[in-house]
Each structure stands twice: as C-alpha cells, then as structure tokens.
Amino acid sequence: MEQILKSSQLSKYFYQKKALDKVDINIEEGKIYGILGPNGGGKSTFLKIAAGLLKPSQGEITIDNKKPGVYTKSIVSYLPETNYLYKWMKIKDTLNFFNDLYADFDVERARESLKFMELEEEEKVTSLSKGMMGRLKLTLALSRKSKVYLLDEPLNGIDPISREKIITSILDSYSERTSILICSHLIYYIEKLLDYVFFLSEGRIILSGDAEELRNKRGMSIDKLFQEVF
C-alpha cells in the first residue's frame, strides 16, 4: 500500500528538552492510526510538525513526498486541541471561511454534520460549551475531503453523547484513500477504530504494531497494554 506520510529520525528540541527523539513513523493510505501516550509525550508535537506549525530540529517528515508547506496543508486536515477558531466568528462564518480557503471543503457535508452534531449556524463560537466546540471542530476538520486527517485529542473533555457522535463521524469520513491519525490518551473509547498503534513516551516510540496482533499476542486490550506500559 502507498505510504502517504513518512517521518525519519524526526526530532524536535525545545532548548534542552527533547519533545521528539528520532521518531520513525510511516502512515499508509486507507488506515486509521493511533498515536497513544501520556500528556507531554510528544504526540501533539508530532502532529504540529506534520501540520506545518512547528519546524523539525532534525530529521525529516514528508507528506505525499513533500515537506510541510502550502501543498501539504492543502491535503492535510488538522484538528488541533486548542480553540483555534477566530473568536469573532459565528458557526456559519467558520463554514464560509473553510469553504473559501480549502478547495477540498464540502459545505453540504458540513451542514449535514452540523445537524447531526446538533449545532446552530447562528451560534457564536465563543458561546459554545466544550462539548459543542469539540463537535464543531470535528465537523470542520472532517468535512474536508483530505488525504490525511490529523486529529489531536478529539475526545478530550467531551461528554459521552458527543463522544458517540464524534466516533461515528470519524468512521463516516474514512475511505480507502484517506489516512487518519488520532492522538489520544483516552484509548478505551477509540481502540476499536485503530488499525495500528504507536506508543509514544518522552519523545520516543516505545511500542508499535497492528492493533489486532497486539491484542492477540499480549492477550489484552490496547487500553490495558497502555496502562501496563506506562
């Protein structure tokens, strides 16, 4: 299968601290990956480099054989953990903005998703609860028909009902042509979605493998394995 995202010996230092230390991650088309690890383990740093927000200190990352830049940003849909939407926006403004700036944004799909997520277009971004914000961010990220989705903690701080909706949406947007990378420390809820997992701790990959094989070999869930490893 074709590799869409490749990192080799990717490192990122913040002063003395190694946020990422020689990380090799290969992502194939048509699979869902989990980058799992404790907070501060380097998950977000990896996604931020892939999204083009951080520059690597050493090593290299390529997406569709290109280094992060304007092209990769056009094929990568990134869901950050932060409240990155402009504070002046209403929900409908966010739709218009994404539609104007991303060629692969599907407004119709976004509108349907808003209905499913029970969000009103006239609502102001700043007045949304944490769960609603999470649902909106996911709607925007998944309404792009991108090659790669980078989802940073999509379930963090999300109530159980939103959680179900978010998992359904992630499954809906999956296709054989896309790759999805999910960073999370809430493994219990997402492990059924994952083809392949990387455990990232202190900037290093300490374990990786096919999710089913790991379950088979270790006789335990990814969640339990995670708790055992960390």
Binding residue for other proteins, selected from 11, 23, 46, 48, defined by CB under 8 A: 48
177 binds other proteins (CB under 8 A): no
174 binds other proteins (CB under 8 A): yes
Number of residues that bind other proteins (CB under 8 A): 53
Which of 65-83 are b and which e, b meaning 16 or more Cβ less than 10 Å from the residue's Cβ? Answer: eeebeeebbbbbbbbbbee
Min. distance of Cβ 139 from other proteins in angstroms? 15
84 binds other proteins (CB under 8 A): yes
2 binds other proteins (CB under 8 A): no
- Is residue 156 a contact partner of residue 189, using CB atoms and an 8 Å limit? no
Min. distance of Cβ 84 from other proteins in angstroms? 4
100 binds other proteins (CB under 8 A): yes
Binding residue for other proteins, selected from 115, 124, 130, 192, defined by CB under 8 A: 192
- Is residue 140 a contact partner of residue 124, using CB atoms and an 8 Å limit? no
Binding residue for other proteins, selected from 18, 22, 29, 53, defined by CB under 8 A: 53
Binding residue for other proteins, selected from 8, 126, 168, 227, defined by CB under 8 A: 168
Residue 224 and residue 187: Cα distance in Å, rounded? 9
Give backbone dihedrals phi and psi of 73, rounded to 5 degrees, phi first: -65, -25
Min. distance of Cβ 214 from other proteins in angstroms? 9
Q: Which of 184, 154, 183 is nearest to 167 (CA)?
A: 154
Residues contacting residue 100 through CB under 8 Å, at least 6 positions apart = none
Min. distance of Cβ 89 from other proteins in angstroms? 8
Binding residue for other proteins, selected from 55, 66, 124, 177, defined by CB under 8 A: 55
Q: Which of 166, 165, 177, 153 is nearest to 34 (CA)?
A: 153
Which is closer to other proteins, CB of 5 or CB of 85? 85
62 binds other proteins (CB under 8 A): no
Binding residue for other proteins, selected from 2, 39, 82, 108, defined by CB under 8 A: 82
144 binds other proteins (CB under 8 A): no
Residues that bind other proteins (CB under 8 A): 14-15, 30-32, 48, 51-55, 69-71, 73-74, 76, 78, 80, 82-89, 97, 100-102, 164, 167-168, 171-172, 174, 188, 191-195, 212-213, 215-216, 219-224
